[in-house]
Amino acid sequence: MRAMPRPFEIHVPEAVLQDLRERLARTRWPDAIPGTGWDYGADLACVQELCEHWRTTYDWRAHEAALNRYPQFMHQVDGVDLHYYHVKGNGPAPFPLLLVHGWPGSVYEFHHLIGPLTDPAAHGGDPADAFDVVIPALPGFGFSGKPRERGWSISRAGAAFDTLMSELGYARYGVQGGDWGAIIASKMGSAHADHVAGIHLNMAIAPPIPGAAEDPEQQRFLEARQAFQAAETGYSNLQGTKPQSLGIAQADSPSGIAAWIVEKFRTWSDCDGDIESVYTKDQLLTNIMFYWAPNSIASAARIYYETQRDPAAFVYPKVEVPTAVADFPKEIYRAPRAWVEPRFNLQRYTSFPRGGHFAAMEQPEALLGDIRAFFRTIR
């Protein structure tokens, strides 16, 4: 018998919040070489300031109430409970749209876009642009269930999301995502093209084409990718090989999770080194709470391990469903149009002057406008 969606609200027990405050108060901080800032990783003073705000000022209950304003559900798919938002659109013909996050993000990345996407008229838009929005937490992430067996790579996650959309009654739908969400959207566009009407990506994974090094524009993309691979991929190598070793430490230390995640938000965002020029402390901490409160930091990291061992993860035919790419200048994996076109049925490629890896939070209006414009051609 098929499992049915169950209404769900986020409610973190008070004992978990009290334990969090006590752990933050007891943090044993390491030393740091004076004047090194972020050179060795997370800046000690910055993380200490954030954690003190977390301990003394941050009001999880206020954010929890805001998160619970939209309808949420749990639905078991392939043996794992998926936590997701499902918000119906207000317009003449709302189009179903699956929004998929990545690491170290969460469903919270999209939370402030739910209103404009589902009820555009109430936010100064055209009611014809309304979407039915489904925002699932990846298996092992946030309040979704933690897989109890091997094999939950992006291929299996994409299949689970296609099943979820089908069981919600959507035979045809669009997908949008960045980070793992973009990779899963691409995989779904290939493997589930009978259901996926189009995909919108703010991170396109595409290899360089022959002769790329001879073209000045493509050479800039090559150099940026090579620099990222050389200096910024230690996290991926660790989580792809020994995630549990790191997870044991992080599950015991909220300050450890904060350091690990906030360093990525600073490095991968278009913030010129000043993270609070883009995000408030409360925004950073609310996202971090999706890893701390349900103790999902280790189970989330395993997506790297599983995907590295999935031979089909990045091997698939050209994605033939209509594809749009929103290109933000500080995205960690950028691909110019010339690289994307051989890999996808590219219908739209838009370059923006500002923005980085977390586009839904960094440049919400730009991303929203591009999503609306692309799916007008798909509806």
Active-site residue, selected from the candidate residues 84, 173, 304, 333 = 304
Domain-by-domain residue ranges, the chain? 6-376
Binning pLDDT at 50, 70 and 90, where does residue 1 land? low
For 350, counting Cβ atoms within 10 Å of its Cβ (0-12 exposed, 13-18 middle, 19+ buried), the class is: middle
At 279 the three-state DSSP class reads coil
Could you confirm whether 270 is annotated as catalytic?
A: no
The CA distance from 111 to 41, in Å, is: 29
The CA distance from 223 to 237, in Å, is: 20
Active-site residue, selected from the candidate residues 83, 192, 195, 357 = 357
The CA distance from 318 to 202, in Å, is: 18
Could you confirm whether 179 is annotated as catalytic?
A: yes
Question: Using one digit for the tens of pLDDT, what is the confidence trace for 172-224?
Answer: 999 999 999 999 999 999 999 999 999 999 999 999 999 998 999 999 999 99
Binning pLDDT at 50, 70 and 90, where does residue 233 land? very high
Position 2 pLDDT exceeds 90: no
Give me the mean pLDDT over the 85-101 stretch.
98
Query: Strand pairing of 131-136 and 80-87?
Result: antiparallel
For the chain, how long is the longest CA-to-CA vector?
Answer: 62
For 112, counting Cβ atoms within 10 Å of its Cβ (0-12 exposed, 13-18 middle, 19+ buried), the class is: middle
Predicted pLDDT of residue 99 = 99
What's the full length of the chain, in residues?
Answer: 379
Where does residue 37 fall: left (phi above 0), alpha (psi -120 to 50 degrees), or beta otherwise?
A: left
The CA distance from 258 to 279, in Å, is: 14
User: Comparing 22-26, 68-72, 284-288, 314-318, which segment has the lowest mean pLDDT?
Assistant: 314-318
Question: Using one digit for the tens of pLDDT, what is the confidence trace for 117-173?
Answer: 999 999 999 999 999 999 999 999 999 999 999 999 999 999 999 999 999 999 999
Position 31 pLDDT exceeds 90: yes
Cα 156 from chain centroid (whole Å): 17
The CA distance from 87 to 84, in Å, is: 10
Question: Using one digit for the tens of pLDDT, what is the confidence trace for 273-302?
Answer: 999 999 999 999 999 999 999 999 999 999
Write the DSSP symbol of residue 275: G
Q: How far apart are the first and last CA of the chain?
A: 33
Active-site residue, selected from the candidate residues 43, 81, 129, 179 = 179
- Record: fold of 6-376: Rossmann fold (3.40.50)
Predicted pLDDT of residue 314 = 87
Position 22 pLDDT exceeds 90: yes
Predicted pLDDT of residue 315 = 83
The CA distance from 103 to 176, in Å, is: 15
Contact status, residue 370 vs residue 200, Cβ threshold 8 Å? yes
Could you confirm whether 83 is annotated as catalytic?
A: no
